Structure 1
Amino acid sequence: MITSRTAKECGTADFGWLQARYTFSFGHYFDPKLMGYASLRVLNQEVLAPGASFQPRTYPRVDVLNLVLQGSAEYRDSEGNCVRVEAGEAALLSTQANVSYSELNTRANQPLTRMQLWLDACPEHENPLTQKMTLPDAKHFLLASPDGENGSLQLRQNVWIHHLDLKPGEQISLPIRGPRAYLQSIHGQVDALGAVSHESQKLACGDGAFIHQENNLTVSASTPLRALLIDMPV
């Protein structure tokens, strides 16, 4: 089954220095039916004004994946770790108890646009506190996985995150390991077809789709498309 969640249905925020769209309950936006999906707790797209920052804050035990779409971000923690991430790069923070984290738009004249995901972390797994990768120029690559296969970022959870970059008319079929997955259009229009249900959903820019009990998904781009497929066996 494939069920769409359009960008217009998502929660929003506009604080001047921050503009945001929330797929799931976050901050002031609360929907008891949308507290996350399997181990995916947060899926936000946010724009920080030039020079703006999030002050230090603590997190639950999650892996925080930041995908920078425009600009430059700096992430610091109270232990002295720091990582700078430019457009076309991604960073993964393995949050720890009693450690606070901050985020800064390092550009004084350009907004910072990024996607942020929170994924529940297994209590018995530990990874490097910060990881970073440059996104390859590829139709499809593995952005994050439990064991860091093919140079992907390593998660503390059985989740596989696929990054798709398709031209108009291109399509790709991907196996889905678990009973649930989530497809997110970062930009572009896409048709998503499930192999079991044979259901198809059309997604526009910023739309997402809950995928349930499908063992394969065919993604077809009708415009230039950039998307994430988050495969969640748990």
Structure 2
Amino acid sequence: MITCRTAQQCGQADFGWLQARYTFSFGHYFDPKLMGYASLRVLNQEVLAPAASFQPRIYPNVDILNLILQGEAEYRDSEGNTIRAEAGEALLLATQNGLSYSEQNLSSTTPLTRMQLWLDACTERSNERIQCLSLLPKPHTLLASPDGVQGSLQLRQQVWIHHLDLQAGELQELALNGPRAYLQSIHGTFSATGEHHDSQTLTCGDGAFIHQENRLTIQAETPLRALLIDLPL
């Protein structure tokens, strides 16, 4: 089953310095039926105004994946560690108990646009506290995985995150490891087809819950960027 959740159905925020779209309950947006999906706790698209920042805060035990779509950001923890990431890069922060983290848009003229995911971290797993990956212009990239295969970011959870970058008319078929996944359009329009159900059409900002599908076929109608988050547990 493929159950669509359109961009218009998501939570919205506009604080001037921050504009955001929330897939699941976050901040002021609360829906008791949408508290996350399996180990995926947060899936936000956020735009920070030039020079804006998130002040230091402490997070639950999660891996935070930031996919930078526009601009450049600096991340800092309370131990003084810093890293910068820019458009075309993905950054993974393995949050630690007792540490706080801040985020700064480094440009005084350009907004910072990014996707942010939080994934519950298994306490018995460990990975590098900060990891960064530059995305190459190819149709499919394994962005993150439990064991860091194919040069992917390593997660503290049984989750596989795929990044798709397709031209109009291109097709990508992906095998899923378990009964659940979440599909998110960053931009572009495409059809998603499972093995046993009719296709669904998604466009910019739309998402879809994937249930009980072993394989998924993505057919781009326009130039497309999308994430497929494979959540077997």
TM-score (norm 1): 0.99
> Offset of 1:38 from its aligned partner?
0.5
SS of the equivalent of 2:131 reads strand
> Offset of 1:8 from its aligned partner?
0.1
2:46 is matched with which residue?
Answer: 46
| Unpaired segments ≥5 residues, structure 2 | none
> Offset of 1:98 from its aligned partner?
0.7
1:216 is matched with which residue?
Answer: 215
Alignment-mate amino acid for residue 227 of structure 2: L
1:8 is matched with which residue?
Answer: 8
Alignment of 1:162 onto 2:138 = no
1:180 is matched with which residue?
Answer: 180
Alignment of 1:225 onto 2:224 = yes
Percent identity over the alignment is: 73
TM-score (norm 2): 0.99
1:134 is matched with which residue?
Answer: 134
1:202 is matched with which residue?
Answer: 201
> Offset of 1:187 from its aligned partner?
0.1
Alignment-mate amino acid for residue 139 of structure 2: K
SS of the equivalent of 2:127 reads coil
2:101 is matched with which residue?
Answer: 101
> Offset of 1:79 from its aligned partner?
1.3
Q: Which moved more, 1:128-137 or 1:43-52?
A: 128-137
SS of the equivalent of 1:150 reads helix
Alignment-mate amino acid for residue 156 of structure 2: R
Distance in 2 (alpha carbons) for counterparts of 1:51 and 1:89: 19
Distance in 1 (alpha carbons) for counterparts of 2:86 and 2:11: 26
> Offset of 1:136 from its aligned partner?
1.2
Distance in 2 (alpha carbons) for counterparts of 1:165 and 1:37: 24
> Offset of 1:2 from its aligned partner?
0.4
1:117 is matched with which residue?
Answer: 117
Distance in 1 (alpha carbons) for counterparts of 2:178 and 2:58: 30
1:64 is matched with which residue?
Answer: 64
Distance in 1 (alpha carbons) for counterparts of 2:143 and 2:81: 22
Alignment of 1:23 onto 2:23 = yes
> Offset of 1:96 from its aligned partner?
0.8
> Offset of 1:174 from its aligned partner?
0.3
Alignment-mate amino acid for residue 206 of structure 1: G
| Unpaired segments ≥5 residues, structure 1 | none
SS of the equivalent of 1:8 reads helix
Deviations 1:19-78 (A, max 9, x none): 000000000000000000000000000000000000000100000000000000000000
How many pairs align?
233
Alignment-mate amino acid for residue 207 of structure 2: G
Distance in 1 (alpha carbons) for counterparts of 2:82 and 2:153: 17
Alignment of 1:90 onto 2:90 = yes
> Offset of 1:199 from its aligned partner?
2.6
